[in-house]
């Protein structure tokens, strides 16, 4: 199956997509994608070309994406929150000539600075394909396989310039098949798409999966607690995929009757604090199904199911994916020990765009090295210990910030926290804890230290504690640890 075949999975007269302004049946989708496809071919888009999509969440993104990949071209979703310089970098790196956008982009100067001399053409994402009637574009050749690339997902670039993970049709379809073994969705599924559609998590699970089962999706252009809660009630939402920060706000603002139609709520994008998961269960009687994945794996690798979920675990590896947990010496560790998760399967990317060395480092003998440290229990459930790059080596001991953060989240008054490494003359590195408190709350640092000393080895106790108004986050809700210290230092200079 190819990606664009998904628009034929539902009944023609069944509603497929609802956004703020329009509703599409599956037949409407098919017709609109065909018109969009004809337009793109008419302006010169061909097999292998890269076409940018720049927009907030709406149904136009889906139409454009399906039209692009149906021509054998590659869609390149671009984060609408990026600066002109960051957008220009992606345009140059992917060699994009056509950008489908919801507003005009002022990137000419940034492209000049990057010495990109191609004439980048911008097209109105919503109306371009409706402005003229174009002859039918030719069908893809019979030898076009599902291993052909269809999308480049650019990573957030927290450790340098972003990298483009190249995914093929088979990667995404396989991942929806793998996820389906856990989710068991049917044509009655009503998905709330509130995560950014440019992100792999939101795309594969909130957009592609509803189509895969012939169900319905309701698209919100952004997350606001009130609108999200109202939408769940109004449309009888059954499934949604969120990040922990959304769960925390729903815990605070939603009532049990608001959430009664939900059958499956999946948390991903970043690790789910135990406190948030426990509160969600207590408040709504719903078990948050934490999963784990990366853009490079389309994204799902592990997933809890509602029936067997273990709070605190990211679940077992989904069917169809092989995995190993490896030591720093590239040997498999004993069960229960921590090591890097490496995986192999049809969902694993083809490689990084124009980065042969980066691809070779990430994909070794077909195994993708995730960079995440996990451990496995006796029943095959995995637990994220930490990112390899986040580990703090103090006095020769590995200190895993997430272990400390989980304890701090349970401390009264603290709403979010992060522990990062800072240089230390005696220990080499030490931890620095940054935390935010709830409205009207106060935290006594001396008492917080005593609490940690009762529950942790002394070498794990952070050296510094700093209260902040809020922690910086990426567009998908992850705490951006690389921005914490620079942001804190800048605030102190004001």
Residues 25-67: tens digit of each pLDDT? 999 999 999 999 999 999 999 999 999 999 999 999 999 999 9
DSSP 130: G
**Topology of 391-493 in CATH?**
GMP Synthetase; Chain A, domain 3 (3.30.300)
HSE value, Cβ hemisphere, 13 Å, CA-based, for 120: 30
SS3 at position 344: strand
Query: 388 pLDDT band (50/70/90 cuts)?
Result: confident
Q: Answer whether 311's CB lies under 8 Å from 217's CB.
A: no
Name which of 395, 384, 294 is nearest 345 in CA terms. 294
- DSSP letter at 236? T
Q: Which residue has the higher pLDDT, 457 or 260?
A: 260
Say what percent of the chain tops pLDDT 90: 83
Burial pattern 92-128, b for ≥16 Cβ within 10 A else e, equals bbbebbbbbbbeebebeebbeeeebeeebebbebbeb
Backbone angles phi, psi at 211, to 5 degrees: -65, -40
What's the fold here for domain 1-388? Answer: Rossmann fold (3.40.50)
Contact, 37 vs 7, CB < 8 A? no
C-alpha distances out from residue 19 to 8, 60, 193, Å: 20, 10, 10
pLDDT of residue 158: 44
Average pLDDT value for residue range 177-200: 97
The residue ranges of every structural domain in the chain are 1-388, 391-493
**How does the average pLDDT of the chain come out, rounded?**
94
The answer, yes or no, to whether residue 156 has pLDDT greater than 80, is no
Question: Tens digit of pLDDT for each residue in 205-217?
Answer: 999 999 999 999 9
Whole-number percent of the chain with pLDDT over 70? 98
pTM given for the model: 0.86
Mean pLDDT in residue range 386-410? 86
Q: Which of 61, 90, 153, 95 is nearest to 347 (CA)?
A: 153
Q: What is the mean pLDDT of residues 128-155?
A: 95
């Amino acid at each position: 199956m190819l990606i664009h075949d998904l628009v034929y999975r539902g009944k023609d007269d069944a509603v497929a997509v609802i956004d703020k302004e329009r509703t599409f049946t599956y037949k409407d989708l098919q017709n609109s994608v065909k018109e969009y496809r004809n337009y793109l071919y008419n302006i010169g888009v061909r097999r292998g070309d890269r076409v940018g999509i720049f927009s907030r969440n709406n149904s136009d993104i889906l139409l454009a994406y399906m039209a692009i990949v149906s021509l054998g071209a590659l869609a390149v979703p671009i984060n609408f929150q990026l600066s002109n310089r960051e957008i220009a970098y992606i345009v140059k790196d992917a060699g994009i000539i056509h950008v489908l956008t919801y507003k005009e982009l002022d990137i000419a100067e940034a492209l000049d600075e990057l010495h990109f001399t191609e004439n980048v053409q911008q097209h109105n994402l919503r109306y371009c394909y409706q402005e003229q009637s174009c002859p039918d574009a030719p069908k893809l050749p019979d030898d076009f396989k599902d291993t052909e690339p269809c999308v480049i997902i650019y990573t957030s670039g927290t450790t340098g310039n972003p990298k483009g993970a190249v995914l093929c049709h088979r990667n995404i379809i396989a991942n929806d098949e793998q996820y389906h073994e856990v989710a068991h969705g049917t044509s009655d599924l009503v998905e709330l798409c509130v995560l950014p559609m440019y992100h792999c998590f939101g795309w594969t699970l909130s957009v592609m999966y509803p189509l895969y089962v012939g169900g319905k999706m309701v698209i919100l252009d952004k997350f606001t607690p009130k609108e999200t809660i109202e939408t769940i009630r109004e449309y009888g939402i059954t499934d949604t995929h969120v990040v922990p920060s959304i769960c925390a706000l729903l815990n605070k603002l939603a009532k049990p009757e608001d959430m009664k139609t939900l059958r499956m709520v999946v948390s991903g994008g970043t690790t789910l604090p135990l406190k948030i998961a426990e509160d969600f269960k207590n408040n709504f009687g719903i078990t948050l199904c934490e999963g784990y994945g990366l853009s490079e794996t389309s994204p799902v690798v592990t997933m809890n199911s509602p029936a067997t979920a273990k709070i605190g675990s990211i679940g077992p590896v989904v069917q169809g994916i092989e995995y190993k947990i490896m030591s720093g010496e590239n040997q498999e560790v004993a069960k229960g020990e921590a090591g890097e998760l490496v995986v192999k399967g049809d969902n694993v990317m083809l490689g990084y765009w124009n980065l042969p060395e980066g691809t070779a480092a990430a994909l070794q003998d077909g195994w993708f090295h995730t960079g995440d440290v996990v451990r496995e229990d006796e029943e095959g459930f995995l637990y994220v210990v930490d990112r390899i790059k986040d580990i703090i080596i103090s006095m020769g001991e590995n200190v895993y910030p997430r272990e400390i953060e989980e304890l701090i989240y349970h401390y009264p008054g603290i709403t979010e926290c992060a522990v990062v490494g800072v240089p230390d003359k005696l220990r080499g590195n030490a931890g620095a804890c940054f935390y935010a408190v709830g409205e009207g709350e106060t935290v006594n640092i001396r008492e917080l230290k005593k609490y940690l000393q009762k529950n942790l080895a002394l070498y794990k106790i952070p050296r510094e504690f700093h209260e902040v108004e809020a922690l910086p986050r990426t567009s998908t809700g992850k705490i951006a640890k690389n921005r914490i210290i620079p942001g804190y230092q800048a605030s102190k200079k004001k």
